[in-house]
Structure 1
Amino acid sequence: MMKKILVVLLGIVAHNLFSQNYSQYVNPFIGTGGHGHTFPGAIVPFGMVQLSPDTRVDGSWDGCSGYHYSDSVIYGFSHTHLNGTGVSDYGDIMLMPTIGNPSLDSKQYSSKFSHKNEKASAGFYAVTLDKNNIDVRLTTTKRVGYHEYTFNKAGNANIILDLNHRDKLLEGEVKIIDNKTIEVFRRSEAWATNQYIYARIEFSKPMKISKEFLSGEKIEGISEGKKKVSFYGTKLALAFSTQVKKGEKILVKVSISPTGYEGAAKNMLAEGKSNDFEAIKKQAVADWDKELSKIEVKSSDKDKLTVFYTAMYHVFTQPNINMDVDGKYRGRDNKFYMAKGFDYYSVFSLWDTFRGAHPLMSLIERKRTADFINTFIKQYEQGGKLPVWELASNETECMIGYHAVSVIADAMAKGITGFDYEKAFEASKHSAMLDIFGLNAYKQNNYIAIDDEHESVSKTVEYAYDDWCIAQMAKILGKKENYQYFMKRSQNWKNLYNPKNGFMQPRKNGNWYEPFEPREVNNNYTEGNSWHYSYSVQQDIPGLIAAHGGKEKFEQFIDAIFAAPDKTTGREQVDITGLMGQYAQGNEPSHHIAYLYNYVGKPEKTDAKIKYILDNYYKNAPDGLIGNEDCGQMSAWYILSTMGIYAVTPGLPEWQTTKPYFDEVKIHLEDGTTRTITKSTSKDELKKLGFENAKTFKDFKYDELTASPVIAAARIFDLNTKVEITGLDPADKIYYMTMDEDDANVRKTFIPYKGPFTITKTTQVSAYAERNGDKSSVTVANFNRRPNNWDITVNATANPQYTASGKLSLIDGITGDVNWRKGEWLGYQGQTFEAIIDMKSPQQFTKLSSTYLQDSKAWILMPKKVEYFASMNGKDFVLLKTVDNTVDPKDETIQTKDFSTEILPTEARYIKVKAYHFGKLPEWHLGAGGDAYIFIDEISVK
C-alpha cells in the first residue's frame, strides 16, 4: 500500500515540476488593441475581481473592456471588467491615486502613461502614472483586489473614489467605518440594467476626506460611541488624503460582493488579511500555473507558446464566480440564496461560448461545467428561464437562441454528472416553449419569416440546432415523445433553405425575400449575412449535404465561401472581421465552417484552412486577435484547433479533427489520466479524445419534416396578379385555399394545386405541402389590390437597408409594425424627406397624415416638423399646415406617431409632404455627431 501511495505522489510531483510556470508565457496585452476588446489587468482564474486600468469612459465599441492599447490616458483602476464583449459595462469601484490638491474632475485626476512603463502578466499589472510620478502595482485573489501605490514625490497624497465612473449610477453610498476603512455600495445601469455591487476598502494608513461631491445627502451621527459619516446620492465622488514622504507606499485592499456589506466583510476576512503584496502576487501566479498546466504544449517558438497560453488565460477569465465565500449569491429575482454543493457563476456569453469555449471546458473543466449548469438551473428557477446572455444577475437578452441547452446537452452526452438531469431538461424544454423572440411563429409555422420577427433566418437556424440539443437530452432520459417532437423541430432550417441557390434565404409574405444578395448584412441575420448562416446546420450536416445534392456539390459550396469577394454589402457590421472570402474568423457563426470539408471526404482542405488561420490570425501583439475575444470563444477556437479537434456539433460526444499544430500536447484530465497528442496521433483517437467511454443511447424513430411551400405573386397589384405555388421538394403535393375581401370563403377547403392562377381582388392565399403522408405547416400570403391608382415621387434617397416594398408602400394602406427591423419602413439618413403624391385627378379632402417612428437608441428620431402642401399643377404648391413634433428625442421608447391634421375642405390633384430630419445626433447620444434617420411608412389623404 505504501509503495502505491509513493508512486501516486511521485506522479503528482512530477506533473507539478513539469508544469510549473506556464504563466510566464501569458501576455495580457494580446487583444487590447485592434478589435479584441480585452483588458490587461490582474485576475485569477474565474475570479470575481478583474482589477484593471480604465482608459475609456465613453462606452465606445472598442472601449468595451474599459481599456484600449491606442490610448494614452488612465482615469483610474476599477475592479470589474468584461473580456472581449461587444457591449460596454462594468468598471465598478474605481480608485485613482494623485498628489497635490485633490480634484474630483476626471479630466484633472486622470494621468498620461506610457506603454514603456507598463507591465502585465498573469495575476499582475503595473504602470507609472506620468502626471504625478506614481507607480501603481495591482494583484488579486478571487474576491479581493490589492493595490500598491508608490509616491515618488513627497506631498499630499490622494486616493480618488469616483462612483460616477463609466456606467450610469442609479444610487451610491459610501460609509466611513474608521480612518482606514470604508464601505461602498454602487447600483448602476448599463448593459445590465440593475447591477448591485458592494465593496469594503481598507487603506494601509489613516486617510481623511479632503474633498466630496454628491447629489444626495451626507449623514453624520454617532454609532457605538464613534462618529460615523455616510454619503448617499446619484452622483458621488470622494478624495481621501494623507501626507507622504518621497518613495512612501500606500497599500489598498478592496473586497467586493454582489450581496451586501456583510458579504464584502466576509470576503475581506477570508481573502484580504495579508499585507504582503508579493505573497498575494505569488499565489495568483500559482493559481494560474495550476489552471494553465491542464494543457501542456511543447514548441521551440516562444511566440506560439505565448499565443497558446494567453488563449488559455482568456478562456479561464470567465465565467466569474458570483457568490461570497460563504456561498451567498444574488439570484436573478434579486433575492438572496445560498449555493449548496456548487459554485454560482455570472457572465455567460452563450451565443459565443457554446461553440468552442464550453466544449473545451467539458474536456478539462468537468466539475466547473456542472457548476455552470447548476447556475443555469437556479437562474431558471429564480428568473423564469435559462440564461441567454446573463451579466451580474441581469438577463441582457443580448444575441439569439437558447444556447444554455447546448452546454447542458453537451455535458450530458459526455457523461458529466453533478447536476439534476431531469431539472435541466425541464428548464431546457421551458426555454423552447416560450412565445418570445419569434418562437411563437417558429412553433406554429416551423420557421420565422421577416413578417414575424427581425433576424428571422439566424433565429430559425439557431433555434433548430438548440431543439436538436433538447432532443439529445430527451434521448438520454428515455423521453421518446419529447425526442420525436424536438427532432422534428430541429429540421426547421429546411423551410429557409432555398434549393435553387443553396442559401438560407429569408421569407416574407409566403415568398422568398427579393432582391437577395448573400453578401448583404441586413436585419434578417444576426451579425452576419447569408454566407455565414447557410452552413449553420451543425445538428444535421449530412442532411445539409443531401439538400445540396451530395458531397461534391456541397464541397463546391464550401469552396465558394472562401472564394467569394471579401467585401460584405448592406449595413456596416463591425463584428465581421478576419475575412477569407466571406468566411469571417473574427465572428462566431463562421467558426465551424472550415471543418465541414471533413464531411465530404476532403480533410486535407480542412487542414489547410485551419493552419492558415492559426498562422495568420492569432499573433503575440496587442492586435493579435482578429475579432472580439467574446468571453473566451475566439481563444477557445485556437486552443482546440491547435490540438487537432473542434466541436462542430456540441451535444455529440465526439470532435471533428484536423492536423495537430504543435509537436506535442499533454492534456491532464480531472480523472487523473493524461492524453498525449502528437502530429502522428490518429484521427480516430482524436475524434473521441476525453470521451472514449461516453455512452451511446438508443435512437427512437422520428418523422422527416416536409418544408412549407412558397407562394409567389405581386404583394401590391393594380388590376390582377398571377399566383404561383412551389414546393421545396419535387416530390411534394401542394394544396391551397383562397379568401378574398368580398367573400370570406371563396374556397372553403384546401384543393390540389394544378398550376398558376389569377386573382383580381385583395386576397389571402394559404397552402401546404404533403409528402409520404406528412403535411407541412401552412404558408399564408396576403396580396393587396391597390386602394387607389395614385403615383408617388420621392425626392430623397432611402437607405438600401430600409426600402420596404418600394415607394408605393408609402400609399398602400398597410402600416409598418413598431418592430421596424421587419422591413416595412422606408428609412432616410441625414436628409429631409419630401414626397409628392399625384392623385391623377382633383380630389376633395379634409384630413392629411403621415406616420413616423422613433427608436432613439437606433438613431431613428421623429422629424422636427412635417409640412403639407397642395397643388393643382404639380409645380405651384400652397402650404396647408405645419405639424410640429412633440416627442422628446431622449425618449428611448420605440414608438410611432401619426403627424395628422384636419383642414378645411380643399380640392387638389397633388399633395406634397415634407418631413424635416432631426440632423446630427447631439452630445448626449451614444452616436453623437452621426446623422439621425427619419423612418416613414404610410401617407394618407382623406
Structure 2
Amino acid sequence: MKSTIFTIWMIISSIFIHAQTKDFAKYVNPFIGTGGHGHSFPGATLPYGMVQLSPDTRVDGSWDGCGGYHYSDEFIYGFSHTHLNGTGVSDYGDIMLMPTMSNNSFDQKEYGSKFSHNNEKASAGYYQVLLEKDNINVQLTSTTRVGLHEYTFNKAGDATIILDLNHRDKLLDGIVKVVDDKTVYVYRNSEAWATNQKIFAKIQFNVPLKITSTKNGSIKSKEFNGNEIALAFGKKVKKGEKILVNVTLSTTSFEGTDVNSKELPSFDFAKTKAEAEKAWNKELSKIEVKSTDKEKLTIFYTALYHTMMQPNIAQDVNGNFRGRDDQIHLANNFDYYSVFSLWDTFRAAHPLYTLIEKRRTVDFINTFIKQYEQGGRLPVWELASNETDCMIGYHSVSVIADAMVKGLKGFDYELAFEAAKHSAMLDHLGLKAYKENGFIAIDDEHESVSKTLEYAYDDWCIAQMALILNKQDDYKYFIERSQSWKNLFNQSTKFIQPKKNGAWDSPFEPREVNNNYTEANGWQYTFFVPQDINGMIDFYGGKASFEAKLDQLFNSTSEMTGREQVDVTGLIGQYAQGNEPSHHVAFLYNYIDKPEKTKELIHKILNDFYKNSPDGLIGNEDCGQMSAWYVLASMGIYSVTPGSGIWTTVEPYFDEITVNLEDGTKRIITKDNYKDNQFLGFEFLKDREIKPISEEEKIVTVPVFKNSERAFKDKMTVVLTSQNPNDKIYYSINGKKEQTFKNPISIKETSTIKAYVINGEKKSKTISGTFTKKPNDYAITLHSTYTPQYHAGGPDGLLDGIFGTENWKKGDWQGYFDQDFEAVIDLGKAKSISEVDAHFLQDSRSWIMMPTKMEIYTSTNKEVFKLAGVIEKDANPFNDSIFTDHWKVQFQTQKIQYIKVKIYNYGAFPKGHLAEPFQGKSYIFVDEIIIK
C-alpha cells in the first residue's frame, strides 16, 4: 500500500515539477520589432493587459516612433504606461514618469537621459535600463492594470520624479490631485489618433515625496488643472537607495483606480515580476513547440507573445468601462476590451484566437456588440473607445462569422447579425455607390478597388451568418454583394483594376502604388478574393492559368512605381509579406493542387523575414498580425478564408507542436499528420459543408465604357462592352428612353449615359458615365511635371470644367511635388481677358500645401510676356483641415492670346510639423484654371 502511495506521489510530483519547469517566457525577446519598421515596444505588460509600461525614446509622433520606442535611439524621455504594439499611427504614451537628480526643469531634453543597450534588458513582463545622466537604474514590471517602477539611485543627492502630462499626444484637459505625500490621482484627456481619450491613474510612492516644482501653480497646491501640467516630486536619497512607484490605471474614474489598485497592494518588485512571468508562461504554454534551435524558439515565442499584447482589457476589476458613447457602463458576464486593428488582425490574429483564446474571442465579440449599441455601428479600428475609421472594410463581421461557424457560444447571434447587417447597409465610405453599382469607382471614393474587394469579402461573411440563422433572403442579398469583385476584374488584363466614369482607368500599371488601393498595388490586391477562390480561378480560365498568374506575381521584378509606401516591404516579386493584403497569397497554390509551391514559399518567408533581432520583423507588427502569421504558418495551418471554419495546411516548420485547448484536450501536430488539421480545434466542422456559390446565385457583371476620357471638345463617340458574348447591353442618355446597344453612341453635348446588361433572365447592376463637353477649346502646355499618380487626366484636366473635391484621393487634382508650377494657355485666338482664377487644395498632413504666390503673365505672340497681376497669401502648415481655395487675379481688360500661369510652391515644412522629421517637402495641388 505504501509503495503504491509512494509511486502515485512520485508520478504527481514528476508531473508538477515538469509543469513548473516549462519556462516558455525565457524565449521571449521583447526587442524583436523595436528596430526597422516593426513599431513595437520593449516594456513590461501582461497578456492583454491595460498597462504597457515602457520607455519613450520618441515624442514627435514620427512613423517609426509609433510605439514610443525605436532601437536606433539613445535617449529616453520618460516611462509611460500605455503603448501601441506595431501600429502605423502614433498615440498613447499616457501618465509619463521620469526619475532624475536635482532637476526641476520641465524641458524633456533636460530631464531625459542618454542610455546604452549594453545596460538595458527586457523579458516577458519586465524591463530594465540604466539612465546614464544621473546613474539611475530603472526596473519596470506590471500586473494587468498596475505598473510598478523601481528606481535605484546610485549616487546620493536630491532624487526627483517628474510627472509630465504634456507628453507625446495633445493634452486637452488634465487634473492632478495630491492626496498626501504618498498618493496622487491623475486624469488625462488627450487627442491624437483617438480624439477623445480619457484615462485615470492613481500614483502611490513607497516613501513620502514632496512637490519640489510645478509647471503651473504653487507647490503648496493640492490640485492642478488645465492643459499644461507637470510636477516634480522629490526627496534626499543615500547612495543605493530605492524609490518604488505603483501606477494604477482606469478608463472610468478615480474610484476605478482605487478598485484596480487592489491588484497590487504592495511594492514587492521581485514577487510582482515573478507573477508576471508566471502569467506569461500560462498563456504561452497554450502552444508548445519542440526544437533544438533556440533562435527559432525565440522567434516563435516572441511572435506568440506579440499576439497577446492586445487587444487590451479596458474595464475595471468591478466590470465598469467607458463605452463608445463616453458613458460608464457595467460589463455583465464578459470582459470589455479595446485596441482592435481589425483590417490587420482579422486575417490571422483573430483566427488564432479562436483556437487558443475562445473565451476571449467571445469577449471581443461582446465588446463589438456593445460598441454597436453605443456608437451606432461595429468597430473598424477602435482605440480607447474611439472609432478612428482607419483602414477599410467592416471586418468585425469576419471575426463574428468565424466564431459563429466554429460554434463559439456566449454572445447573441441575432444581435450580432443585426449589427453586421446595419454596418454593411450604411451609405458612407463608398458603400452607397457599392450597393447601387456593384463596385466602387474612383469617382465615388478613394481606395476604390480595395474597398470593393474587402466589402465583398465581409459581405460573404454576413451571408454565412445568415445561413446559420436561416435568413435566406439576407443570404441571397449578401452572397450577391460578395461577388462585387467580378465587376472590377478586367478579362483582358486578368487584373482587378480601378474604374473611372464607368471605364477602366487608363493608363493602368499593376506595379503602381496609388490611391486606388490601400497600402498596396494592383498586383497585391488582384488576389484578394478569399471568399470565392474557385470563382477567381474560373475567371482566369482554370487552374493552369491561375498558377501562371501566381508564378508571375512571385517571380516578377520587385520594383514598384507610384507613391512611396513604406508599409510595402518584404518583397518576393510583387508579393509583400511586410503588409497584410498579401498574407494569404502564398497559400493559394494549395487550391490548385500545388502544395509544394506553398511549402517552398511559406518556409522561405519564415526563414528570411522573421529574425531574432530588433529589425526582425519585415513590416509593422500591426497589433499582432505580423506575428500571428508566423505562429500559424510555422504550425502548418492558415485561415485563408476566416468565416469558413477551414484551415489550409502546409508542412509545419517545427518537428512537433502541441496545442493545449481550453477544454483540457490537446492536439499534437507533426510533419506526418499535418494534412489532417483542416479542422484543427473544431473537428465537428468536418460534417459541415461550405456552401459554394451556385450557378443560380452567380451575378452578371456590369458593362464597361470603352472610353477612358471624360471630356471632349466638339463631339464624342461612346462604346459599351461586356464580359460575355451572350450579354445584351441596354442604355439610356440623360434619362430618356432605353435602347439596345448595337452601334457606337455619338454625343455632342454634356451627357450622362446609364447602362446595364441582360444575360438570360439575369440583370446586372446599372452603371453610369458622364461625358462633359469642355467649356472652351483652349490648349495648355505644361512647363512643370506632375507626379504620375496625380495626373487628373493629363494637361487638359486643368481646363475640362470638372472640379476636384476635398477628397483629393479620387484623382481629380494635379499634384506637383517640390517644384513650382508653370504653364502656358493658348486661347486659340486673341480674346478680351480680365481675370484668371485657379483652384487649389491643402491637406498639410499629406504634404499638400497652398502655394505662396500666383503670377499671371499675358502675351499676344507667345514670345514676350508681361506681368498682368499677382496674388500672395500666407499658408499655415499647422492647419490640419482639408480645404480648397479659389485664387483670382484680376487686371485691366486686355486682348491677348496667351496666358502664362506661375504658381510658387510652399517649400519645406517647418520644425515641429509632422513632415519635418522626414525632411518633408510639399506638393502643390491645382485643378481647374478658369479664364474670364
1:812 is displaced (CA, Å) by 1.1
Q: Aligned residue for 2:814?
A: 826
Gaps of 5+ in 1: 221-227, 740-744
CA-atom RMSD in angstroms:
1.8
Q: Which of these residues, 440, 449, 469, is aligned with residue 448 of structure 1?
A: 440
Q: Which of these residues, 166, 169, 187, is aligned with residue 167 of structure 1?
A: 169
Task: Tell me if the contact between 2:42 and 2:54 (Cα under 8 Å) persists in the aligned partners.
Answer: yes
Q: Distance in 1 between matches of 2:522 and 2:726?
A: 26
Q: Distance in 1 between matches of 2:756 and 2:132?
A: 72
Q: Which of these residues, 581, 589, 592, is aligned with residue 589 of structure 1?
A: 581
The 1:118–1:850 alpha-carbon spacing in structure 2 relative to 1, beyond 3 Å, is same
Q: Which amino acid aligns with 1:284?
A: A
The 1:306–1:698 alpha-carbon spacing in structure 2 relative to 1, beyond 3 Å, is closer
Cα deviations across residues 625-682 of structure 1 (Å, max 9, x unaligned)? 1111100001110110111100000001110110011111110111111000011014
Q: Aligned residue for 2:404?
A: 412
Instruction: Tell me the TM-score normalized by structure 2.
Output: 0.96
Deviates more, 1:251-260 or 1:781-790: 781-790
Deviates more, 1:850-859 or 1:150-159: 850-859
Secondary structure of residue in 1 paired with 2:780: strand
1:79 is displaced (CA, Å) by 0.3
The 1:710–1:542 alpha-carbon spacing in structure 2 relative to 1, beyond 3 Å, is same
Q: Which amino acid aligns with 2:60?
A: D
Q: Aligned residue for 2:151?
A: 149
Task: Say if 2:128 is the partner of 1:126.
Answer: yes
Cα deviations across residues 581-604 of structure 1 (Å, max 9, x unaligned)? 011111100000000001101011
1:452 is displaced (CA, Å) by 0.3
Task: Tell me if the contact between 1:41 and 1:125 (Cα under 8 Å) persists in the aligned partners.
Answer: yes
Deviates more, 1:709-718 or 1:419-428: 709-718
Q: Which amino acid aligns with 1:932?
A: S
Q: Which of these residues, 95, 98, 115, is aligned with residue 96 of structure 1?
A: 98
1:886 is displaced (CA, Å) by 5.9
Q: Distance in 2 between matches of 1:12 and 1:406?
A: 43
Q: Aligned residue for 1:712?
A: 706
Q: Distance in 2 between matches of 1:76 and 1:675?
A: 45
Task: Say if 2:211 is the partner of 1:209.
Answer: yes
The 1:13–1:380 alpha-carbon spacing in structure 2 relative to 1, beyond 3 Å, is farther
1:911 is displaced (CA, Å) by 1.7
Aligned length: 920
Q: Aligned residue for 1:892?
A: 880
Task: Say if 2:542 is the partner of 1:550.
Answer: yes
Q: Which of these residues, 915, 921, 924, is aligned with residue 931 of structure 1?
A: 921
Secondary structure of residue in 1 paired with 2:786: coil
Q: Which amino acid aligns with 2:224?
A: F
The 1:11–1:543 alpha-carbon spacing in structure 2 relative to 1, beyond 3 Å, is farther
The 1:698–1:564 alpha-carbon spacing in structure 2 relative to 1, beyond 3 Å, is closer
Task: Say if 2:241 is the partner of 1:248.
Answer: yes
The 1:678–1:18 alpha-carbon spacing in structure 2 relative to 1, beyond 3 Å, is farther
Q: Aligned residue for 1:787?
A: 775
Q: Aligned residue for 2:270?
A: 278
Q: Which of these residues, 335, 340, 344, is aligned with residue 348 of structure 1?
A: 340
Q: Aligned residue for 1:497?
A: 489
Task: Say if 2:563 is the partner of 1:571.
Answer: yes
1:834 is displaced (CA, Å) by 1.7
Q: Aligned residue for 2:140?
A: 138
Task: Say if 2:287 is the partner of 1:299.
Answer: no
Q: Which of these residues, 36, 56, 66, is aligned with residue 54 of structure 1?
A: 56
Task: Say if 2:537 is the partner of 1:535.
Answer: no
Q: Which amino acid aligns with 2:901?
A: V
Task: Say if 2:64 is the partner of 1:69.
Answer: no
1:842 is displaced (CA, Å) by 1.1
Q: Which amino acid aligns with 1:42?
A: A
Deviates more, 1:486-495 or 1:905-914: 905-914
Task: Tell me if the contact between 1:711 and 1:779 (Cα under 8 Å) persists in the aligned partners.
Answer: no
Cα deviations across residues 254-286 of structure 1 (Å, max 9, x unaligned)? 001111111111111x21202211111111001
Task: Say if 2:914 is the partner of 1:922.
Answer: no
1:704 is displaced (CA, Å) by 1.3
Q: Aligned residue for 1:225?
A: none
Q: Aligned residue for 1:224?
A: none
The 1:853–1:122 alpha-carbon spacing in structure 2 relative to 1, beyond 3 Å, is same
Q: Which amino acid aligns with 1:552?
A: A
List aligned pairs for 1:436-835, cutoff 5 A: 436-683=428-675, 685-694=676-685, 696=688, 703-713=697-707, 714-739=709-734, 748-835=736-823
Q: Distance in 1 between matches of 2:750 and 2:443?
A: 18
1:862 is displaced (CA, Å) by 1.1
Task: Tell me if the contact between 2:136 and 2:153 (Cα under 8 Å) persists in the aligned partners.
Answer: yes
Task: Tell me if the contact between 2:174 and 2:189 (Cα under 8 Å) persists in the aligned partners.
Answer: yes
Secondary structure of residue in 2 paired with 1:693: helix
Q: Aligned residue for 1:238?
A: 231
Q: Which amino acid aligns with 2:710?
A: R
Q: Aligned residue for 1:84?
A: 86
Q: Which amino acid aligns with 2:69?
A: Y
Task: Tell me if the contact between 1:475 and 1:698 (Cα under 8 Å) persists in the aligned partners.
Answer: no
Q: Distance in 1 between matches of 2:21 and 2:452?
A: 45
Task: Say if 2:894 is the partner of 1:906.
Answer: yes
1:902 is displaced (CA, Å) by 4.1
Q: Which amino acid aligns with 2:258?
A: A
Q: Distance in 2 between matches of 1:606 and 1:201?
A: 52
Q: Aligned residue for 1:37?
A: 39
Task: Tell me if the contact between 2:466 and 2:472 (Cα under 8 Å) persists in the aligned partners.
Answer: yes
Task: Tell me if the contact between 1:475 and 1:697 (Cα under 8 Å) persists in the aligned partners.
Answer: no
1:457 is displaced (CA, Å) by 0.2
Gaps of 5+ in 2: none
1:698 is displaced (CA, Å) by 8.8
Task: Tell me if the contact between 1:859 and 1:927 (Cα under 8 Å) persists in the aligned partners.
Answer: yes
Q: Distance in 2 between matches of 1:262 and 1:529?
A: 50
1:722 is displaced (CA, Å) by 2.7
1:12 is displaced (CA, Å) by 12
Secondary structure of residue in 2 paired with 1:939: strand
Q: Distance in 2 between matches of 1:331 and 1:621?
A: 39
Deviates more, 1:625-634 or 1:889-898: 889-898
Q: Distance in 2 between matches of 1:11 and 1:522?
A: 62
Task: Tell me if the contact between 2:30 and 2:122 (Cα under 8 Å) persists in the aligned partners.
Answer: yes
Task: Tell me if the contact between 1:274 and 1:280 (Cα under 8 Å) persists in the aligned partners.
Answer: no
Q: Distance in 2 between matches of 1:390 and 1:295?
A: 28
Deviates more, 1:232-241 or 1:347-356: 232-241
Deviates more, 1:765-774 or 1:627-636: 765-774
1:783 is displaced (CA, Å) by 2.0
1:15 is displaced (CA, Å) by 9.8
The 1:289–1:600 alpha-carbon spacing in structure 2 relative to 1, beyond 3 Å, is same
1:480 is displaced (CA, Å) by 0.4
The 1:558–1:628 alpha-carbon spacing in structure 2 relative to 1, beyond 3 Å, is same
Secondary structure of residue in 1 paired with 2:858: strand
Deviates more, 1:13-22 or 1:714-723: 13-22
1:219 is displaced (CA, Å) by 9.9
Task: Tell me if the contact between 1:414 and 1:691 (Cα under 8 Å) persists in the aligned partners.
Answer: yes
The 1:12–1:840 alpha-carbon spacing in structure 2 relative to 1, beyond 3 Å, is farther
Q: Aligned residue for 1:370?
A: 362
The 1:11–1:827 alpha-carbon spacing in structure 2 relative to 1, beyond 3 Å, is farther
Instruction: Tell me the TM-score normalized by structure 1.
Output: 0.95
